[in-house]
Amino acid sequence: MKAVLEYWPVLAQGFWVTVCVGICIIFGAALGAIVLGALGRSEMRAVRVVSRLFIEFIRAPSAVVLLFWVFYALPLLSGMPHLSPLTAAITVLALDGAAYGAEIVSASIDAVHRGQTDACHALGLSKLQGFSKVVLPQALSQIVPAFGSQARGMVKWTTIVSFIGVQDVLYVGNYIRSQTYETVAVYCLLAVLYWILTVLCGAAFRALEQVLPLNRVSRVARVTVQIGPKSKGLARRA
């Protein structure tokens, strides 16, 4: 283990790359999931069909195959860009996360009572205003917990970025193993690092749940209900 710790500066750099990739793909997947989920509930049939086809196109192949296709095969087509390993990895994993997250968003939007949308129309709000100011804030109370579970999985998806040369913590770990032959120590250390990342990711989403508008309102309502009987009891004693 001492031989492994001698490489800690390189390991820390690889760990930082993994953290950056994880943050980027989670944010990218969240934004993409909201867009795809909203388009999937569009009143225009063509938009719904295109959204569904795009989701199925991304979800059909495994993430590794899609990553290899974007990084190795796409540049061979005329006029297509040659993405750097880091850009290709973030793009593919964010799209993959968005395709899976779109189902979460769609189900959460459906859970919002239809009367909310009707009220928006009655107030003269546009569809975009009604969605962004009324429907989405209510749907977030269900989107965030479910997407938080997916985000922890996405942190572990980052392990495949080393397949195209991104020097993440797994890439560095394999390099250290080849230099020190400390296979057990290296992979135990990697397991601990990924465990730390998933725990921190879960904690971040739990904290995010607490600040959602609908959850804040629910907490205030519960406190009011609890204080009400106590105040009445104090008034009777007085």
- Chain segment 62-89, per-residue pLDDT in tens: 899 999 999 999 888 888 888 899 999 9
- Supply the Cα-derived Rg of the chain in whole angstroms: 23
Look at 228 and 86; give whichever has higher pLDDT. 86
User: CA-CA distances (angstroms) from residue 220 to 143, 181, 217, 231?
Assistant: 21, 57, 5, 16
Residue 1, pLDDT > 70, answer: no
pLDDT of amino acid 216: 56
Residue 27 reports pLDDT greater than 80: yes
Mean pLDDT in residue range 87-93: 94
- pLDDT attached to residue 114: 74
pLDDT band at 196 (very low <50, low <70, confident <90, very high): very high
DSSP assigned state of 79? T
Helices (H), the chain: 2-5, 8-39, 45-59, 63-68, 85-111, 114-122, 127-130, 136-157, 169-180, 183-210, 213-237
Task: Tell me the average pLDDT across 185-190.
Answer: 91
Closest residue by Cα to residue 88 from 72, 101, 102: 72
User: Using 50, 70 and 90 to split pLDDT, how confident is the model at 235?
Assistant: low
Between residues 5 and 223, which one has the greater pLDDT? 5
| pLDDT number for residue 200 | 94
Question: Among 26-30, 99-103, 106-110, 169-173, which is the least confidently predicted range?
Answer: 106-110
| Mean pLDDT (the chain, rounded) | 84
The number of angstroms, rounded, from the C-alpha of 63 to the middle of its chain's C-alpha atoms is 15
Architecture of the 2-237 domain: Orthogonal Bundle (1.10)
As a whole number of angstroms, the distance between CA 68 and CA 71 comes to 5
Rounded CA-CA distance 158/184 in Å is: 21
Mean pLDDT calculated for residue range 154-177: 91
pLDDT at residue 170 is higher than 90:
yes
